[in-house]
A and B are shown apart, each in its own frame.
Chain A
Amino acid sequence: EVQLVESGGGLVQPGGSLRLSCAASGFSFSVYEMGWVRQAPGKGLEWISYIGHDGVVTFYADSVRGRFTVSRDNVKDVMSLQMNSLRAEDTAVYYCVRDLHGGATPFEYWGQGTLVTVSS
């Protein structure tokens, strides 16, 4: 069974940092492209990051580029999102997502999400 389990969310002050992790299991992690999607309270879905299967290629939404960094460890089957210079508007549930299969494909699996609250 495919599982994606996020951790690392919490309350952080504006300007602070937080590191999210996504532990994957039930599939060959190193084969799949992964990413992060967030959803602010009461709002829609926002794609924020992509990482290729080998971690070489990454992409970011304009809203987080330069502040967030996605990475992965294909030995430990973990993807991470380092979030710096956090702002109030970064408050959201952050979902770890896995592509349907290789290439340009939608998100087949989603984690349960971890809540990040940026507030003083």
Chain B
Amino acid sequence: IQMTQSPASLSASVGDTITITCRASQDIERYLAWYQQKPGKVPKLLIYSASTLYAGVPSRFSGSGSATEFTLTIAGLQPEDFATYYCQRYSSAPRTFGPGTKVDIK
């Protein structure tokens, strides 16, 4: 199963709402997670089961989708949100990651 993400990168301003799309080449039900990684830092889990917010993650992050198409939305970008975001399927091995979407400041 291949995972793709779009766009590969995007530029946005503080306060913007952005959406990142992740697509799976086969039906993965809702076994989809989103991670955030800042430069030089360890990835952090944001969302799992496609739409469940991990503990402590701000509510401006939301996820949706099922089967083969998923989205991560950040409503009202904050300065600390500029990072690279990865989706991942985890229902079975291989637990493939998407190639990532880099969000930077416009």
Residue from A44, A60, A104 in contact with B90 in the complex, judged by beta carbons closer than 8 Å: A104
Instruction: Give the contacts of B59-106 with A (CB-CB under 8 A).
Output: 84, 86, 88, 90-100
Main secondary structure of the interface of B (DSSP, over half): loop
Interface size on A, residues (CB 8 A): 22
Tell me if B90 and A106 are in contact (CB < 8 A).
yes
The complex places the Cα of A62 from the Cα of B86 at a distance, in Å, of 20
The complex places the Cα of A71 from the Cα of B44 at a distance, in Å, of 25
Tell me if B93 and A112 are in contact (CB < 8 A).
no
Check A68 for interface membership: any CB of B closer than 8 A.
no
Residue from A45, A60, A100 in contact with B43 in the complex, judged by beta carbons closer than 8 Å: A45
The complex places the Cα of A59 from the Cα of B54 at a distance, in Å, of 26
Chain B contact residues, CB within 8 Å of chain A: 31, 33, 35, 37, 42-45, 48, 54, 84, 86, 88, 90-100
List 5 A-B pairs, minimum CB-CB distance, nearest first: A59-B93, A106-B33, A45-B97, A47-B95, A110-B42
